[in-house]
Each structure stands twice: as C-alpha cells, then as structure tokens.
C-alpha cells in the first residue's frame, strides 16, 4: 500500500518505519527541515532501541522517505495523522495542530483515501475532522475517517508495534475497515491478537481509558508503598502478591516517583476534561493525579527525614528521563523533584545514560556528571529516580 504519515515524533516515526519494513511505500511529512534532512540520512532524533537501524534499512531500500510537503497524499491509500495534542492550561487537549493538518490533508485529496487518526484525540474529534475535510476537499475526491489508537511504550516501541495486545480500528464504513484490517494483518499474525472493530467514538475512548487505567495502577502502587512504610509492611512483596492474581496482573504495580512522559499526564488530564464536557466529574482520576503528585513530594519528605535541613547538602540524582530506555524528558518526575530539592538549598549532581542533552535545556541549576560513579562520590544522599538497568548493579565500594 501507499501510505502517508503526518508527524515524525515517537508514534509517527515508529509506526511509519514498521509499515515500511512490512513492504509498504511510506512517506512521512514533518515540519522541521533539519529533522527531515537527518532522517533521510538515517540520523534519528529520538532514542528508541533498534529504531535507528530500522530507519536506515528502509530509507536505503526506498520504502521510507521524509519530506516537508504534502505531495504524497494524492497517491496514498491511507493518510495517518500522528501529531501532538499537548494539554492546555485547563487540561483540555489542544487540537490546533490536528485540525491544521486535517485541512492540509483535505486540500490534497484525490480519488479515494482513508484518513486515519493515530494522534490521541478527545471523543468526537474525528467527526470534527470529517466535517472540516468535507469543506475543503477537491470536487470528486472521496474519503472515509478512521481511528486507530496506538499503545506503544517508549523504550519498547518497536516490540509493542510488532507484537500488539490488540488492534483497535474505528470506522464508519466496511470499505475503510477492510483496508485497515489488510494493512494490520501481518502484525495480527505475530501474536494472533484480537481485532477490536468498532465505531470512531469507541476507538477514541479506548486510548484515554487504557492510559488512565494504567495511571490508576501506578498511583495505587504508590499508596500501598506509602502505607507500607508507615506500618512496617514490605510494599514490594505485597504488590508482587497482588499482581500474581490473574485478574490484576503485575504490570504497572511498581511504586516509584509517579508517572510521567508524553502520555499519562496529559491523557489523564484530558480524560477529566472530556468527562467534564459531558457533565461527569471524574473524581477517581482527580485522586490519581493527587497521588501522583504526592509520590514526588514524598521523596522530598524522606530526604528531609534522613538529612534534616537540606540546605548545603549534596544530593546525587541517578536517572532524569521519565522512564528507562528513552531520552524523553516530558513531564519527567526528576524535573519537579530536583526543583523542590534546589529550592530547599540542596546541591544536585546528576547523570542519565541517554537524556542528558535534553535535560540540560530544562534543568539548568545543577551539575551534570559523566557517569553514575561520579554522581555517587561525596554525596550525602543518592536518589535513583529512573530505574535504568545499569543502576541496579552499582559497586558502591
């Protein structure tokens, strides 16, 4: 098939590369000249294990190309939107880029095309896109809307895309549904996972519901950890025992500094905002957000219990990215933790295997070290914020 992706962030780049590797002809439209030039030369701007090699392979094979224009749309069977939907100040998803892209897609349509939304968008957005495209499309052009939410995890994005737990396809016509089932067939065969064939609104709902539920599990794990420290219980063993129940499962039941990244924080806020728009006060998710903030503050409280006044104390921070195996600093817990520590007068020295350059643009009042052992030397306290594997075997002597 001939496919166009709009957006070369995590979702767009990973998905486009996988579909190219499956034998499709894929064009990716971006908006940053340097990034587009680098990608065409096999230089990838994000850290994701295995991605650079796969991009290089498919660019060399001629199945994957990157561009600044929309010229590939008239010949495409499918056009995917994979642009960002950052939160506004009130938590509502900002759809300005999505709608701007939709207009440009509509203006360039020719023949029959399925417009597929892969961006995480509020329920009802695909109907807005449909109405917009109807107004601007050339006479004679036909299209259908579809929603195919992604469920990849940063750090294991290639594996998650190639081995999905389920494939959600929301459409209004069988023609669009059949085309997308055919496109995803090689991925479905990998795991024999289920297709969830549904309408646009349900597909939009699934993404927010899934991320919000995982955020609930993370906050629940942190409440158990907090309570365990007060009662003398072993939180890790308690959560391990809970996770052995097949109805619950172990994933996302690890306590820590709270969730961060590009998805959970904004999607929980957006889901609260969506519910409010329909007249429902999502109290559960308000509490999930509150617990997530408490998880970060609790680290500061523990630091003060161990050291007393933090003024002049030297504290080492291991891990800056929001999770291991990524360089993403978006909503990383380390940002607030370090900010609070420095406000209390602590001197911070930090290290992360992949996110140092991005972190330096965000956190400017600390000392960045060359390796994890330099961080440990002469500190009063060491905080492991991101559980990179290399931190698990530190020789403290």
Q: Which residues pair with 169 in a beta bridge?
A: 197
Q: What is the mean pLDDT of residues 56-71?
A: 96
Residue 19: C-alpha distances to residues 24, 45, 337 (Å): 6, 19, 39
pLDDT in tens, 279-307: 999 999 999 999 999 999 999 999 999 99
Answer for the pair 378, 312: CB distance below 8 angstroms, yes or no.
no
pLDDT in tens, 300-319: 999 999 999 999 999 999 99
Q: Where in the chain is the domain with CATH 3.40.50.720?
A: 2-198, 208-393
263 among known catalytic residues = yes
CA 145 to chain centre: 23
How confident is the model at residue 388, as a pLDDT?
95
Tell me how long the chain is: 397
| 61: confidence class by pLDDT, cuts 50, 70, 90 | very high
Answer for the pair 376, 317: CB distance below 8 angstroms, yes or no.
no
User: CA torsion angle for 175, 178, 179, 181 (degrees, to 10)?
Assistant: 160
How confident is the model at residue 266, as a pLDDT?
93
Q: Phi-psi bin for 119: left (phi > 0), alpha (psi -120 to 50), beta?
A: beta
**Where does the chain have alpha helices with state H?**
10-21, 33-40, 51-60, 96-107, 125-136, 157-162, 174-191, 200-231, 235-243, 264-277, 283-307, 333-343, 356-360, 372-376
Coil, strand or helix: which one is 195?
strand
Average pLDDT, the chain: 95
Residue 223 has pLDDT above 90, yes or no: yes
Produce one character per residue of 185-213: b if its CB has 16 or more CB atoms within 10 Å, e if not. eebeeeeeeeeebbebeebbbbbbebbbe
Does the predicted model carry a pTM greater than 0.85?
yes
Domain over 2-198 is classified CATH 3.30.2270.10: no
Cα–Cα distance measured from residue 46 to residue 9, given in angstroms and rounded to the nearest whole number:
8
pLDDT in tens, 126-171: 999 999 999 999 999 999 999 999 998 888 989 999 999 999 999 9
Among 351, 293, 345, residue whose Cα is nearest residue 359: 351
Cα–Cα distance measured from residue 44 to residue 40, given in angstroms and rounded to the nearest whole number:
9
Which superfamily does CATH assign the domain made up of 208-393 to? NAD(P)-binding Rossmann-like Domain (3.40.50.720)
How confident is the model at residue 89, as a pLDDT?
87
Among 321, 263, 327, 319, residue whose Cα is nearest residue 45: 327
């Amino acid at each position: 098939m001939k496919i166009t992706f709009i957006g070369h962030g995590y979702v767009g780049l990973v998905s486009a590369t996988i579909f190219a590797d499956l034998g499709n002809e894929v064009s990716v439209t971006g908006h940053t000249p340097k990034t587009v030039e680098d990608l065409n030369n096999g230089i990838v701007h994000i850290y994701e294990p295995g991605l650079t090699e796969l991009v290089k392979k498919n660019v060399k094979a001629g199945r994957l190309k990157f561009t600044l224009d929309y010229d590939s749309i008239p010949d495409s069977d499918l056009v995917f939107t994979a642009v960002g939907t950052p939160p506004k100040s009130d938590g509502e998803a900002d759809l300005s880029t999505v709608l701007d892209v939709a207009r440009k897609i509509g203006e360039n349509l020719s023949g029959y095309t399925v417009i597929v939304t892969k961006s995480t968008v509020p329920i009802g957005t695909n109907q807005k896109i449909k109405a917009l495209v109807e107004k601007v499309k050339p006479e004679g052009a036909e299209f259908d809307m579809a929603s195919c939410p992604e469920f990849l995890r940063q750090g294991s994005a290639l594996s998650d895309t190639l081995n999905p737990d389920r494939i959600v396809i929301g459409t209004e016509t069988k023609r669009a549904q059949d085309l997308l089932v055919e496109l995803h067939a090689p991925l479905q065969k990998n795991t024999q996972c289920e297709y969830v064939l549904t309408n646009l609104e349900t597909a939009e709902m699934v993404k927010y519901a899934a991320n919000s539920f995982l955020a609930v599990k993370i906050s629940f794990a942190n409440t158990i950890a907090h309570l365990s420290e007060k009662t003398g219980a072993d939180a890790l063993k308690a959560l391990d025992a809970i996770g052995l129940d097949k109805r619950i499962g172990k994933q996302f039941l690890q306590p820590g500094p709270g969730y961060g990244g590009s998805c959970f924080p904004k999607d929980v806020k957006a889901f609260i905002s969506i519910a409010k728009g329909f007249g429902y006060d999502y109290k559960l998710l308000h509490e999930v957000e509150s617990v997530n903030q408490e998880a970060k503050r609790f680290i500061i409280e523990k630091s003060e219990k161990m050291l007393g006044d933090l003024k002049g104390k030297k504290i080492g921070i291991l891990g800056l990215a929001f999770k291991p195996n990524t360089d993403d600093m978006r909503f990383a817990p380390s940002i607030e933790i370090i900010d609070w520590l420095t406000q209390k007068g602590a001197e911070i020295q930090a290290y992360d295997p992949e996110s140092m350059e991005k972190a330096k643009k965000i956190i400017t009042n600390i000392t960045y070290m060359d390796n994890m052992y330099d961080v440990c030397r002469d500190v009063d306290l060491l905080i492991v914020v991101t559980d990179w594997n290399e931190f698990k075997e530190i020789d403290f002597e």
